[in-house]
């Protein structure tokens, strides 16, 4: 191979390396979209979420997932922003089944206004994961001491969600509401702590460790 040929091969290799590095950087920094909470009054806002048993669409069709409502549309994201020093009311439509918890401590509601959450019209401070349909998912913001617990839909439900996300409210689900008080501006990690990454070590891989599925960021804005 002559000199010009060698240069062409080297340049082609460099272009390939640059392409791989660029693709990797895009993957690492590409976050899901951020949804703004609906403002409902002075220092008040609403966030509406749903949990689905399977996303049903590419790239990970079988993964459990959260979605966030924006207006009349559901967005496949776990990134949302809320106002600082405000009461934020969460409404969660839980479509997934449940089971016992590996860590019973996670059955306690914490960090919410009044120390409770409302499940289908009933205020509770503890969800017994060994009764009924167990716990499907949770929503925790460790830095704020917030933890909400979502009971599972019955495994014998006659109308479980069996369509790609989002799940319409006509399917069997549990409705959970709770309110938190936000403080100073900042970015806070939130996470589901019910291990539902089936097929991964201890259930905490896959969707449990991927933005846009079972964990995300709550951005508190001034």
Within 10 A of 212 (CB to CB), how many other CB atoms are there? 22
Helix (H, G, I), strand (E, B) or coil at 148: strand
Mean local confidence (pLDDT), 179-193: 97
Cα 142 to Cα 126: distance, rounded to the nearest angstrom? 18
- pTM equals 0.85
Report pLDDT for 189: 97
3-state DSSP assignment of residue 182: coil
d(CA 55, CA 32): 15
Question: What number does CATH give the domain 33-221?
Answer: 2.60.40.420
Q: 90 pLDDT exceeds 50?
A: yes
Separation between Cα atoms, residue 168 and residue 69, nearest integer Å: 12
Domain positions in the chain are 1-30, 33-221
Q: State how far the Cα of 118 lies from the Cα of 174, in Å rounded to an integer.
A: 10
pLDDT in tens, 167-183: 999 999 999 999 999 99
The pLDDT, as a whole number, for residue 3 is 52
> Which of 158-162, 195-199, 209-213 is least confident?
195-199
């Amino acid at each position: 191979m002559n000199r010009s040929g060698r240069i062409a091969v080297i340049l082609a290799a460099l272009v390939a390396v640059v392409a791989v590095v660029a693709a990797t950087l895009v993957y690492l920094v590409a976050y899901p979209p951020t949804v703004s909470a609906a403002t409902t009054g002075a220092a008040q806002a609403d966030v509406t979420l749903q949990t689905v048993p399977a996303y049903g669409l590419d790239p990970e069709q079988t993964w459990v997932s959260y979605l966030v409502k924006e207006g009349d549309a559901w967005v496949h994201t776990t990134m949302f922003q809320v106002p600082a020093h405000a009461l934020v009311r969460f409404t969660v439509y839980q479509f997934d089944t449940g089971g016992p918890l590996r860590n019973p401590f996670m059955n306690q509601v914490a960090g919410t206004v009044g120390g409770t959450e409302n499940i289908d019209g009933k205020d509770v401070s503890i969800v017994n994961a060994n009764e009924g349909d167990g716990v499907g998912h949770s929503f925790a913001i460790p830095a704020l001491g917030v933890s909400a617990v979502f009971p599972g839909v019955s495994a014998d439900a006659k109308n479980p969600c069996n369509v790609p996300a989002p799940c319409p409210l006509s399917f069997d689900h549990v409705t959970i509401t709770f309110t938190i008080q936000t403080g100073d501006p900042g970015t806070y990690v939130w996470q589901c702590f019910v291990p539902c990454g089936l097929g991964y070590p201890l259930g905490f891989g896959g969707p449990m460790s991927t933005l846009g599925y079972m964990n995300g960021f709550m951005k508190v804005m001034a």
